[in-house]
Amino acid sequence: MTTSKKLSNVQRLTGTIEVPGDKSISHRAVMFGSIATGKTEISNFLMGADCLSTVSCFRKMGVSIDINDGKVIVEGNGMDGLREPSDILDVGNSGTTTRLMLGILSGAPFHACIIGDESIARRPMSRVTKPLRLMGASIDGRENGQYTPLSIRGGNLKGITYESPVASAQVKSAILLAGLRTDKEETTVIEPHKSRDHTERMLRAFGVEVKEDSTSATVIGGKELEATNIFVPGDISSAAFFLVAGAIVPNSEIILKNVGINPTRTGIIEVLQMMGASIEIIQHDQYSFEPIADIIIKTSTLKGITIGGDLIPKLIDEIPVIALLATQAEGKTVIKDASELKVKETNRIDTVVGELSKLGASIDATDDGMIITGKTGLSGNVSVSSHGDHRIGMMLAIAACITDGTLDLHDVDAIAVSYPNFFEHLSLLSK
């Protein structure tokens, strides 16, 4: 079923919100808890559709996962505690579930089948199936394991040193998770730029040693994970929508509480600062393995900038809303080195350029990004669509705050993938 919503512009956005828990960290907490020994209690878990797909897959492999009052309790039975699933593992819309789970399954001595939705079926899986096969996993699937449906049988794995052609935390994590199942062998992943390091940080919290340098990470196999309690910080990728909204909607001031500010994820803050936004970061004393801050954003006068290189992995999921931000910045914004956008839930170069063009933005697609010239008023009274992509849906809902007429936003239900209470927060701030 698809849904649509008529959205009007707003006078201002003011108030305080706490965005839901981080999606990347929530996935990992359930997965690592499932293969650890003992009870892992997760608080502030993201109850979004993607993370619930992870929960459902691990339950099908015999893990007891209890969801109660915003807390998730995972009873792990160790690395060898997973059971062969009698049903297909359905990952829904979630790339992270698919790729990290493949890493875990590579060392599990049984067979499993993985399917997902139409969007997942278009996303490249050979970036993980290739190195996992090199390590010893048997993986088959559509077009020789390039796409779902996939079928996997874990094997005896050997350690590898793998130079990934893309900076991808999903690829890195899948290989490191498989690396844990080798017999005391070393597994190293080298990336062209550093990707988010939640896996490395969380593995350490579960008692596993991870060696890291600027663009590589290494684990040694054979160590059991020991259960731990995890507090999931607010998702900076969700906060990004309100950071942009606060900067571009007139007369606004928004306070975002408890946002994760892991330096491998803070590209959106760097971009806002480079554009000249009025933004304040109040960092909390560190009490978790992930840093947390409150962020205050106010209506700002912005200038266009160039975004590329090693900044891209730090803000890859924020590019749709950064494109909207750039329409309100004076001058040219160039987003380059971002061809990874083409293999997300949608081709995010095409969907961003297509939908923002409908609003009258001056935006052109390039081979590895887009060029936006601002500042332009955005026109309403048009129909737009998320194309089933949560981040496109939320970007358009924020755009509607400043259009000169209403927007008919189709396929809004996609937003529940990462931010189920997004519209509640939007209406709270616009009161």
Ligand X SMILES: O=C(O)C1=C[C@@H](OP(=O)(O)O)[C@@H](O)[C@H](O)C1
Minimum CB distance to ligand PEP smaller for 197 or for 294: 197
Tell me the closest approach of the beta carbon of residue 360 to ligand X, in angstroms: 29
Considering the complex, what minimum distance in angstroms separates the CB of residue 317 from ligand PEP?
4
Q: Would you say 150 and 114 are in contact if contact means Cβ atoms under 8 Å apart?
A: yes
Q: Compute the least distance from the CB of residue 96 to ligand PEP, in Å.
A: 3
Round to whole Å and give the CA distance between 249 and 402.
Answer: 6
Instruction: Produce one character per residue of 196-214: b if its CB has 16 or more CB atoms within 10 Å, e if not.
Output: bbbbbbbbebbebebeeee
Q: Please, which of residues 184-203 interact with ligand X by CB under 6 A?
A: 195-196
Concatenated DSSP letters of 143-182: HHHTEEEEEEE-------EEE-SS--HHHHHHHHHHHTTS
Size of the site for ligand PEP (CB under 6 A): 10
The catalytic residue among 235, 317, 389, 411 is 317
Residues 360-389 that bind ligand PEP (CB under 6 A): none
Site for ligand X in 140-169 (CB under 6 A): 168-169
Could you tell me if 207 and 180 are in contact, meaning their C-beta atoms sit under 8 angstroms apart? no
Residue 22 makes contact with ligand X by CB under 6 A: no
User: What is the DSSP annotation of 352-393?
Assistant: HHHHHHHTT-EEEEETTEEEEEE---B--SEEEE-TT-HHHH
Contact 28, 54 (CB under 8 A): no
CB of 196 to ligand X, least distance (A): 6
- Residue 341 has phi, psi (to 5 degrees) of -55, -25
Whether 332 has a binding-site annotation, put simply, is no
Residue in 10, 24, 261, 395 binding ligand X, rule: CB under 6 A:
24
**Which of the residues 94 through 123 are near ligand PEP (CB under 6 A)?**
94-96
| 303 annotated among ligand-binding-site residues | no
# binding residues, ligand X (CB under 6 A):
11
Helix 49-60 and helix 95-105, axial crossing angle in degrees, nearest 10: 20
Count of other CB atoms within 10 angstroms of residue 126:
15
344 is annotated as contributing to ligand binding: yes
Output 51 or 203, the one with its CB closest to ligand PEP: 51
Q: Please check whether residue 342 is in contact with residue 349, taking contact to mean a CB–CB distance below 8 angstroms.
A: yes
Shortest CB 316 distance to ligand PEP, Å: 8
Residues 316-335 that bind ligand X (CB under 6 A): 316-317
Q: Which amino acid is at 342?
A: K
153 annotated as a binding-site residue: no
317 in active site: yes
| Positions that interact with ligand X (CB under 6 A) | 24, 96, 168-170, 173, 195-196, 316-317, 340
Annotated binding site for phosphoenolpyruvate: which residue ranges?
A: 23, 95, 123, 170, 348, 391
| Positions that interact with ligand PEP (CB under 6 A) | 23, 50, 94-96, 317, 344-345, 391, 418
**Residue positions annotated with a catalytic role:** 317
